[in-house]
Structure formats: C-alpha cells, structure tokens
Structure 1
Amino acid sequence: MRANVWLRCLREAPEAESRLVVFPHAGGAASYFFPLSRALSPKIEVFAVQYPGRQDRRREKTFEDVVPLAERLVEQLRPVDDHRPVVYFGHSLGATVAFEVARRLEAEGNGPRALIASARCAPSAHRSHEIHLLDDAGIVAELRKLSGTADRLLDDEELLETLMPAIRGDYKAAETYSYTPGPPLNCPVFGFYGDDDVRVGEEDLLGWKAHTVGGFELHGLPGGHFYPSENPTRTAEEIEARVGSVM
C-alpha cells in the first residue's frame, strides 16, 4: 500500500504492526482524519482515502455511485508490498464504501481483518433523506445540523461554491446506494455511533450484524454525527482496542 492520488499516508510508520485505512463521509476529504491519526498509537500506520472532486482532486469528476467508486478503490487497496494486517474505518458514506471494498477483496482472499462501520446504517437497511435533491441552501442547512463542516467554510460563499459539486455528488452516492445481496463478510464488524447523533443511532447500526459471520459489536461514543473530530482521543482509544482484538 503506497501513498498516491487515492491514498494519503497520514501517519507513516514502516515498522508498525498494523494499518488502518479510513474512508471519509459525504463531502469529506482525507484531511478530516488528520487529528484522529495524530491521536492513534504509532504502532498503527494510517492511510486515508481521497475521493475525487475535492482539495487537490477538485478538478476530477465526483463519483455519484458507491459501487464504481469501491471498484476503483479495490485496485488501490489490494495488498502488493507486504502482509501487515489491515483494518478499515468507514465514517458515514465511508462505511458503505469500505463494506463494498471489503466484500470484493475478501472474495480474492485479501480482505481486511475488521471493518469499523461508523455512523451509518447497515447496507441492507439503506434509506434516503433525499438531501442531494435539495438546493444549495438546503444542503448547507443539513451540514449545519450535523456540524460536520466548519462554520467558516459554510459562511464562505466562494469556497462553498467550489465544494458543493463534491458534497452533492457524495450525498447522491450515499442516498441512491442499492445493496446487492451476497455472502456476508468473514471479518468482524464493529459498529460505532455518536450518542448525540441526530441522524444515525444505535438501532441503525444493529443491522450490520447480518452482514458478517465474524462477530459484531456495537459501541457508542460521546458526540454527534461527527464524533471522530469532536473526540479524536476517545475515538482513537476505541479504534486501538478493536485493532488490538483482531491482531
């Protein structure tokens, strides 16, 4: 696994015992996970997925469908250089993307040791709030409700104009996702959610149990939908515990 246009190494640790690959939320970028990566143990090397359509990839077309996005990521996440164990952490939309990547790589015998599904309902329990169909003001209102984007960004009309295509495209991918039945994952799935999340709660995460034969655990953390940035130290502690349990 190497840093490239699709993967950013947030914590380089050649001697690390394991790797964590983090998948961003709708409208999110690899840099969102930088504070979390700093809080994690140096025994874990951290890579973040960078979707097209944002930051240095802003001129690229955003994916509006989870499946082709996952298929492109399979090419990047297929092990090529060593056999260090890998755990996926997918937040919101990222949980669905990580699931689709994991099921494809498991079919090749190269799946992750575990999937941490964060703040996202199970693939088979998918539902849409049709946020991608709202006008820009409506999407901004949703972002303010979830507190996932700094107010200074939402108040910067020029910057927001450049971000909106990626945000809308990501929401479309999340909300039009259609689960295709198939074998459950062999790896364990850990469901994480924020205690104060206004969109996704404990009941939504329980559905992930049906998508694995490797065991399922549910963990609530303090904070809202974007608890990883609200409480990076606590989130790092929970991730480290889960990584340690599958090594």
Structure 2
Amino acid sequence: MIPLEIQELAPESPYIWRAKRPRATRRLICFPHAGAGAAAYADWASLLPADVELVAVQLPGRQNRIAEDPFTEVGPLVNVLTHALRPVLDLPFAFFGHSGGATLAFELARALRDRGGRGPDQLFLSAQPAPGASAVRQLHALSDEDFHAEILALGGVDEELVEDEDAMEAMLWVLRADFTLYERHRLEPGTPLDTPITALCGDADPRAPLPEVMRWREQTTGAFSAEVYPGGHFYFIEDPAPVVSLIAGRMAAPATAGRTA
C-alpha cells in the first residue's frame, strides 16, 4: 500500500497548480468554473487516493494571475493549454471540469485527440449543458445589476466576498469575461470522442437541467453515465467527498464499453 503523502495545492507554472505526489501513478486534472481559480480544488488533494495526484488549471485574470487579461475565445485558450499542460500529461490522467470548466475540459480532450496526443482516460463534466443546449438563460449580456443578481442566486460566493464591494466588483468583471467566453462558444462539428464521459449535476440546478446534461452522451462512442446529486449549481461545494470518491472509483476501474443512463 502506498503511504499517503499530502501536499498542498501550489503554483508550479502559470497554468499549473499541483499537489505533488512523487509516487503517483495517475493524475486528476481539474478545470475551475467561471470566475474561479485553481484554489477552488484545494480541498480535493486530501480526498484522493494515495496514487492519484491532483492538478488544477490556473487561468489568467484570477488569484496570482489577477493582473492578466482573461481569454475571450475558447479556441486560443485550448491551443495554449495543449502546450502548457504537457508536463502533467506524462501519466494516465482524467479531466474534471465544473460549469464552464467542463466545456474547456471537453474541448481540450478533442484537441489532444485531433493532434494525435495522449488524451484523458475519462472525462468528468459537471454542471454544464452539452453543446447545443438551448434551454439555459444567457447571462453575459445582462446589465450589471441583473448579472450581479444572477450570480448571487447561483450561489458559490463566500459571504465575506459579497460584503466587500471592491473584491466583488473585481470578481464580477472576471465572471462576466468568463461567461462571455463560454456562452459565445460554439462546438465545431467533429467525430465524437471514444473517451468515457461521466456527466454530473445537481437536481435543482437551473444552469444545467438534466435533459441538457444527458446530451453529453452524443459526444462519445465510449461509456456514458449521468450522476445526479442533491443541490443546485454548486452541489458539491460544501462537501466534495462524494464527488471525489466517485471520480476516484471510476479512475481505478477499467473503462467499460457501451452506454448507461
């Protein structure tokens, strides 16, 4: 049995935060939701098995990269990430993305496949409608007041941040940029992946209703399953353990053929 060596999630390069485990045999690479940074996954390291190393992607415009402009298009961002993440693609790995991060994880998986590179063994796509969804309200063009209200209604924002007007204004600027990035993105036609996809959502999430989440099955010829949890858009934020446990179990099990609902 490999002893657990818990390391804090820490910056390693502009795009990579890692909780190093020198004897890891697999990696879980996580993509944060709109407006968030790599630290959104800081608590996950201690929840993963000893042989799984946690990596979180850090994008411009937040935390230690707050002075940088965020990306305005998904394509150029994916191009950058195919190179920036190379140092952590040398072991078998899986992608987890939440909300807009799920779109980024999926597009990066397609880009790696199309370029003949090593792709993820599994994709875990959380709280994000599949490409082509039409039933989800677009937020990026709302007025400041309405956008602010919608963000607070979704949850996931610390009370201390809400009470700090300057910090909240800065966060809303990045949030609007990210919502613009993901809501304007359109999937280019292409061959479905053969990577197993697990789609996850909360049962009361207005941003990711189950019928739209289920359409991720169209994006893979491999295994597909949908997992529904109690809660809204940030269904796992108070207790990520059940989601991390599911991911760890799927990563440890051999990929199965076929589809399940």
TM tier, smaller: over 0.9
SS in 1 for 2:233: coil
- 1:177-203 CA-partner distances (Å, limit 9, x unpaired): 111010111211110111222321221
- 1:190-223 CA-partner distances (Å, limit 9, x unpaired): 1011122232122111111110111111111232
Please give the alpha-carbon distance, in whole angstroms, between the structure 2 residues aligned to 1:76 and 1:228: 28
> Is the Cα contact below 8 Å between 1:23 and 1:89 reproduced in 2?
yes
How far has the Cα of 1:126 moved from its partner? 5.9
Structure-2-length-normalised TM-score: 0.87
Partner of 2:13: 4
Partner of 2:143: 135
Cα gap change, 1:116 to 1:126, in 2 (>3 Å): farther
Partner of 1:174: 182
> Is the Cα contact below 8 Å between 2:73 and 2:185 reproduced in 1?
yes
Partner of 1:122: 130
Please give the alpha-carbon distance, in whole angstroms, between the structure 2 residues aligned to 1:67 and 1:82: 20
Partner of 1:95: 102
Greater Rg, structure 1 or structure 2? 2
> Is the Cα contact below 8 Å between 2:103 and 2:128 reproduced in 1?
yes
Partner of 1:222: 230
Partner of 2:49: 41
The equivalent position to 1:86 in structure 2, one of 90, 93, 96, is 93
* Structure 2: gaps (5+ residues): 1-10, 256-261
Please give the alpha-carbon distance, in whole angstroms, between the structure 2 residues aligned to 1:201 and 1:243: 26
- Taking only aligned residues, the RMSD between alpha carbons, in angstroms, comes to 1.8
SS in 1 for 2:17: strand
> Is the Cα contact below 8 Å between 1:116 and 1:189 reproduced in 2?
yes
- 1:26-53 CA-partner distances (Å, limit 9, x unpaired): 1111111112333222221011011111
Partner of 2:258: none
Which amino acid is the alignment partner of residue 46 of structure 2? R
The equivalent position to 1:104 in structure 2, one of 103, 107, 111, is 111
* Structure 1: gaps (5+ residues): none
Please give the alpha-carbon distance, in whole angstroms, between the structure 1 residues aligned to 2:147 and 2:52: 35
The equivalent position to 1:198 in structure 2, one of 202, 206, 215, is 206
Please give the alpha-carbon distance, in whole angstroms, between the structure 2 residues aligned to 1:82 and 1:234: 26
SS in 1 for 2:160: helix
How far has the Cα of 1:62 moved from its partner? 0.8
How far has the Cα of 1:149 moved from its partner? 1.2
How far has the Cα of 1:146 moved from its partner? 1.1
Please give the alpha-carbon distance, in whole angstroms, between the structure 2 residues aligned to 1:146 and 1:116: 21
Please give the alpha-carbon distance, in whole angstroms, between the structure 1 residues aligned to 2:231 and 2:135: 23
Partner of 1:231: 239
> Is the Cα contact below 8 Å between 1:126 and 1:178 reproduced in 2?
no
How far has the Cα of 1:231 moved from its partner? 2.0
SS in 1 for 2:110: helix
> Is the Cα contact below 8 Å between 2:136 and 2:206 reproduced in 1?
no
Partner of 1:149: 157
Deviates more, 1:99-108 or 1:138-147: 138-147
Please give the alpha-carbon distance, in whole angstroms, between the structure 2 residues aligned to 1:82 and 1:142: 36
Which amino acid is the alignment partner of residue 136 of structure 1? D
> Is the Cα contact below 8 Å between 1:223 and 1:230 reproduced in 2?
no
Deviates more, 1:124-133 or 1:229-238: 124-133
How far has the Cα of 1:56 moved from its partner? 1.1
> Is the Cα contact below 8 Å between 1:113 and 1:246 reproduced in 2?
no
